Amino acid sequence: MRALVTGASRGIGRATALHLARDGVDVAVHFLSHESEAAATAAEVRARGREALLLRADLAEPSGATELARAVAERWDSLDILVHNAGPYPRRSFEETSEAEWRSILQVHLLSPAALTRALLPRLRRAPTARIVFVSSVLAFQGSTRGAHYAAAKAAQLGLARSLAHELAPQTTVNVVAPGSIDTAILAGDSPERRRERERAIPLGRLGSAEDVAEAISFLASPKAAYLTGTTLHVNGGLRSD
């Protein structure tokens, strides 16, 4: 089996690439700016006995998804698993967020995943069954105090995923993982006090790890999840349930 994981240089994407390799899947490791980290992910995939591709694309640019799809299609004639994970979480008040920032965040979290899915459909259709997993966020459900554009883009992803679950069935399943507060570079700017506040709000008493989320993604990507489509797995330590 073969998977493309976007944003696999670090954090949740990296952990997902390694979980999939553990499960016997070849992985196309996509990155934007952290090339040596992405190369390390690819090396770890290979160390698990699987093939790894290393592919760069800026998914905040309208051409990024097409370029990435082309690079995958040049090397692989079929694709079993597509994980839409890449993207930043910029903190900005609604008033301070420019139109360009709105466009960029909608591009990376909504339009590029849609374009990438569309461009790779011929490859996904060649697999016996295909799996698509979107990495959304708890903020899609509760909103964000400093990131309306991010929360809106993540909520829009849910509509896309649920629609694709209908339209691509029965050959392809499409599901969503919605992480809460996960201990990756995205939260690195938090003060110690903010971190403690986050921990206190979580019933399970700790931030999630990238591996906690990767476990859920690799489950949804596996044959064990054959009867799940259009659903959302919340990985948030009990912070919120919908």
Ligand X SMILES: NC(=O)c1ccc[n+]([C@@H]2O[C@H](COP(=O)([O-])OP(=O)(O)OC[C@H]3O[C@@H](n4cnc5c(N)ncnc54)[C@H](OP(=O)(O)O)[C@@H]3O)[C@@H](O)[C@H]2O)c1
Hey, which residues are catalytic here?
150
Q: Which of 65, 85, 121, 217 binds ligand X (CB under 6 A)?
A: 85
User: HEC states along 88-110?
Assistant: CCCCCCCCCCCHHHHHHHHHHHH
User: 143 is written with which tokens?
Assistant: 């909103």
Q: How far is the CB of 60 from ligand X (least distance, A)?
A: 4
Q: Contact region for ligand X (CB under 6 A) — 42-50, 74-82, 87-95, 124-132?
A: 87-95
Q: Does 172 bind ligand X (CB under 6 A)?
A: no
Among candidate residues 210, 218, 179, the one with its CA nearest the CA of residue 22: 218
CA atoms of 183 and 188, how far apart (whole Å):
8
Q: Which of 39, 40, 48, 58 binds ligand X (CB under 6 A)?
A: 58
Specify the residue, 11 or 237, whose C-beta has the smaller distance to ligand X: 11
Q: Does 181 bind ligand X (CB under 6 A)?
A: yes
Interface with ligand X (CB under 6 A), residue total 29
Specify the residue, 98 or 171, whose C-beta has the smaller distance to ligand X: 98
Cα–chain-centroid distance for residue 193?
28
CA atoms of 140 and 142, how far apart (whole Å):
6
- Asked if the bond preceding 113 is cis, omega within 30° of 0, the reply is no
Specify the residue, 127 or 219, whose C-beta has the smaller distance to ligand X: 219
Q: How far is the CB of 47 from ligand X (least distance, A)?
A: 20
Q: Which of 23, 66, 88, 146 binds ligand X (CB under 6 A)?
A: 88
If one counts every other C-beta atom within 10 angstroms of the C-beta of residue 51, the result is 15
Q: Does 114 bind ligand X (CB under 6 A)?
A: no
Specify the residue, 12 or 124, whose C-beta has the smaller distance to ligand X: 12
Cβ atoms 60, 108 nearer than 8 A: yes
Q: Does 33 bind ligand X (CB under 6 A)?
A: yes
Q: Does 135 bind ligand X (CB under 6 A)?
A: yes
Q: Which of 2, 5, 13, 234 binds ligand X (CB under 6 A)?
A: 13
CB-count burial class (<10 Å; 0-12, 13-18, 19+) for 84: buried
Specify the residue, 181 or 229, whose C-beta has the smaller distance to ligand X: 181
CA atoms of 97 and 103, how far apart (whole Å):
10
72 HSE (CA, 13 A, CB side) = 30
* Residues 137-156 interacting with ligand X (rule: CB under 6 A): 137
Q: Which of 3, 32, 110, 152 binds ligand X (CB under 6 A)?
A: 32
Cβ atoms 240, 180 nearer than 8 A: yes
First to last CA, the chain: 32
Interface with ligand X (CB under 6 A):
7, 9-13, 31-34, 38, 58-60, 85-89, 108, 135, 137, 179, 181-182, 184-187
